Structure 1
Amino acid sequence: MPESADDWTVNVLATGDVFPDLEDGEASFRPLLPVFAKGDIVYGNCEGVYSDRPAPASTRIVMGAAPAERGSMFGRVGFDVMTLANNHAMDGGVVGLEDTMSLLASQGIATTGAGKDLAEATKPAVVEANGVRVAFLAFCTSFPVGYDAAEGRAGIAAVRIGTYYRNPMPSFWDPGIEPEVLTVPYPEDMRTLHDAIDAARATADVVIVAVHQGTNREVRNAFVPPSRTHSKTWHNIVQDNELHLARDIVEHGADAVVCAQHAALRGVEIHSGKPIFYGMGALIHHFHKRGKHTTSDHKIIEEWDVEYPYWAYDSPETRMSGIASLTFSSSGVEAGFIPAMIMPDGSTEPLADDDPRADAVAKHIESMNSDEGFTTHIEHSTIDGYRFLKITNAS
């Protein structure tokens, strides 16, 4: 904490999923550099493995891995801390995780959310700026079996969610009706999460928790097999377990929660005075068709819009992106959002104040907020020529 505890401020720029996988991956970040340069700390979720010797996990869904050289630019483009609690961090096995962590450490980037055992995976990454110590934690609820860390086992920091099904019409027999789905976190994982927040709180002035959770319709349709015994109907909403988990994290002492995984933006709310970004989407994320752009076994998606050769989802909202701005001070936290758009060449472009696409992104977030019933107010303004959405509680 600065010498004058009554007068301090630190700005954290938070992004969603990040997995550059091109020969010149640094070029994909070039439009974002002027924005990153304004932040005291820049955070992102490293959504994959960077290793030249990955040992593919048997339970992986798709292989999110790239050669180490393709992750060598993170420090140069401005990242200070990256989280690893996601559904791809163990795609390359323990050696892939080790190589990724070593690569990021060699660039001066702090990591959290995965490690050689549960203790390391839940240890906060503490970054100091302006004399303020900011602790980052990361947890994941959606991941392949066996990816979670345990005592004596490498993996990610996880909160396992139990899924239960109930007949929504108990007074009527209706075979095949879509059931009511109940999702409940494991109590032991919640205790681990609370202990991690307490430990971070004891060593830092600000605590930010990243959560990798949820899904969306396009992902479900791509990977859930056809069946005569269940429905594939899915809505792009924030599920109950996502709401309860994020709010619990705030109530237990976090200053902000930033979520990713959905491959599309979700709503934002202010809960107990603290911002929760329920879905940051992807910032930079490159997919490859088999044999089309590379010879190695990278992420494989067979069909998608040819206009976007490096991005697998063709609905307009999945191309919306942005950067969350979290300004912490002695008086609390101010939250904002800079809209951005994923481009066909694999880059992501922050949107100028007069760009109509910025209006579309803002409208999408406001729609998500309305669907969830959040009492969130979005005020449009400008910062350094870019659209800036100031986020407050309307109630």
Structure 2
Amino acid sequence: MDKQADGNGSHPVQQASSYDTVGSTDTNVSDGFTMVAVGDLLTSRPLTNGRHPGFDDIVKILRDADVTFGNVETNIFDMRSFTGSPQASGDYVISVPEVGNDLKAMGFNFVSRANNHALDWGVEGMRETSRILDQNGIVHAGVGENLAQAGAARFLETKGGRVALLSFSSTFQPMSPACDPAGEAPGRPGLNPLRLTSSIVVPPAMMESLRGIRDALPGFHPGGEDPNRVVLGGVTFRSGEKATYSFEPDPGHVENILRNIRRGKLLSDFCMVAHHGHGAGNWCQEPPDYEREFAHKLIDAGADSYIGHGPHQLRGIEIYKGRPIFYSLGNFMFDNLQTPIGAEMFAAYGKDPRVNTDADLIVDVMVQGFETDGGFTNPVYYESLIAVSRFEQNRLSELRLYPVELGYSARFANRGVPRPAPAPQARAILERLQKLSESFGTEIAIQNEVGVIRLRGRDQS
């Protein structure tokens, strides 16, 4: 490949023009191409051979697609032979090796890996998870031996066309991001990051109070400070109309993602991007302030779909230039029966591993809500959906949304397994999604307890 073709030549304007003439950002799939997308796959055990009413109906939907996508938010390995150790977080999510084969049996063939649990068990856990997914023929993206590998698109060959997937995370532990070699220093294995700079927006009266506190503290040296910005205790406050959180993505990380989207789309017929992020927090049903413009930018660069996950609950859906944007698809599997658990997690929740078992700790966190944001005691964390996107003449023609519930009221050992939501609950899930999607101009019809988005001419432009 010459320099001009691979984007490293000296005439970038000419390159962009030549790409446009061959439709580099166009969708190019067969009529009837379908993409199934779900959210977080947080499961510690195989499910297809278990006693789970309604689960077979779920699997039937998953299998009936060209691409079936989910976010693997766990490490998969055999603890009895594992040579690594818990490292990057306090939760240390883990699944047995049989989960790899089980995901394949369910129909998953494309999964993202960049998330805040990717390095729970260090590089060894990341690599072993990759090995098991590879062994089961599941294409995965978002982690690698350096940043170039973690950020690169991975490809799936389907009857409907060649599909690319990029995966990145805006929520991660400090040493989880991958990096490239620099001089004599080698690269670092890890995930593909989107670093966010956060600030808190407050009304002017609150800013005056914060400024007074800052000025009264020892060590403050006035002079040249921004009148609309106060840094207090390492937290940046900015002036605005109302109190809220604000985020700004790292420009270098954004450019890296955009570059990999361009590469992925040029080498494929259909390009998917998957973003794992908790935004302002798991409690928030709205995407953070930067995300809509950011998602649009990725679509403009060539992405055919934007799939968000991370906050453990549903957020709205937008159709932009005929491409679907899912701001969060919530939890799809959420059984949380992982074991063992590292010592730090016991300490974080005031438990003693010499007295309490890992099961005690998990139940307390999940059922009684010991987490700082109230735990996962709200039924909304156990409601989700399967999004089925269908394309005709290289256009998104229809989105069907199948409501799912994860057994919030079941015994703890049986929670977290998806099944079709009963009619009243299905309607409630879809009505909530209608409200969450209103601000994006998305109209969701409800037909026989299934959500339907049909695209009109204006949605295609």
TM-score range, shorter chain: 0.7 to 0.9
**Residue 270 (structure 1) aligned with residue 319 (structure 2):** yes
Q: Which has the larger displacement, 249-258 or 175-184? A: 175-184
**Residue 368 (structure 1) aligned with residue 403 (structure 2):** no
Instruction: Compare the two structures and name the one with the higher helix fraction.
Output: 2
1:93–1:267: structure 2 CA closer, same or farther, 3 Å change rule? same
TM (normalized to structure 2)? 0.71
Corresponding letter in the other structure for 2:322: G
Corresponding letter in the other structure for 1:18: L
Instruction: Compare the two structures and name the one with the higher strand fraction.
Output: 1
The match for 1:349 is 419
Deviation of 1:272 after TM superposition, in Å, equals: 2.3
Deviation of 1:161 after TM superposition, in Å, equals: 0.7
**Residue 314 (structure 1) aligned with residue 377 (structure 2):** yes
Q: Distance in 2 between matches of 1:143 and 1:268?
A: 24
Q: CA RMSD in A?
A: 3.0
Q: Which has the larger displacement, 15-24 or 185-194? A: 15-24
Deviations 1:248-298 (A, max 9, x none): 211221111010001111100112221101010010122148889x97799
Mapping for residues 235-246 of structure 1, pairs under 5 Å: 235-246=284-295
TM (normalized to structure 1)? 0.83
Deviations 1:17-54 (A, max 9, x none): 00221365653553411111221221111011012326
Q: Is the 8 A contact 1:54 1:93 kept in 2?
A: no
Deviation of 1:58 after TM superposition, in Å, equals: 3.6
Q: Distance in 1 between matches of 2:29 and 2:110?
A: 26
Q: Is the 8 A contact 1:63 1:297 kept in 2?
A: no
Q: Distance in 1 between matches of 2:334 and 2:143?
A: 20
Mapping for residues 1-395 of structure 1, pairs under 5 Å: 8-22=31-45, 24=47, 26-27=49-50, 29-52=55-78, 53=82, 55-151=84-180, 152-169=187-204, 173-175=208-210, 180-215=244-279, 219=282, 235-288=284-337, 300=362, 302-305=364-367, 313-334=376-397, 335-343=399-407, 344=410, 345-346=414-415, 347-351=417-421, 355-370=423-438, 373-381=439-447, 387-390=450-453, 392=455
Q: Distance in 1 between matches of 2:96 and 2:70?
A: 19
1:67–1:187: structure 2 CA closer, same or farther, 3 Å change rule? same
1:13–1:7: structure 2 CA closer, same or farther, 3 Å change rule? closer
Corresponding letter in the other structure for 1:61: G
Q: Distance in 2 between matches of 1:131 and 1:303?
A: 43
Q: Distance in 1 between matches of 2:83 and 2:303?
A: 35
Deviation of 1:392 after TM superposition, in Å, equals: 4.3
Q: Distance in 1 between matches of 2:273 and 2:361?
A: 27
Q: SS where residue 75 of structure 1 aligns?
A: helix
Deviation of 1:63 after TM superposition, in Å, equals: 1.1
Q: SS where residue 153 of structure 1 aligns?
A: coil
1:246–1:328: structure 2 CA closer, same or farther, 3 Å change rule? same
The match for 1:225 is none
Deviation of 1:165 after TM superposition, in Å, equals: 3.9
1:299–1:44: structure 2 CA closer, same or farther, 3 Å change rule? farther
Q: Is the 8 A contact 1:214 1:238 kept in 2?
A: no
Q: SS where residue 359 of structure 1 aligns?
A: helix
Q: Distance in 2 between matches of 1:341 and 1:173?
A: 47
| Structure 2 runs not aligned, ≥5 long | 1-27, 181-186, 214-236, 342-355, 369-374
Q: Distance in 2 between matches of 1:86 and 1:106?
A: 21
Aligned length: 363
Deviation of 1:68 after TM superposition, in Å, equals: 2.2
Q: Is the 8 A contact 2:400 2:450 kept in 1?
A: no
Q: Is the 8 A contact 2:88 2:122 kept in 1?
A: no
The match for 2:223 is none
Larger radius of gyration: 2
Deviation of 1:242 after TM superposition, in Å, equals: 2.2
Deviation of 1:129 after TM superposition, in Å, equals: 1.9
Q: Is the 8 A contact 2:278 2:310 kept in 1?
A: yes
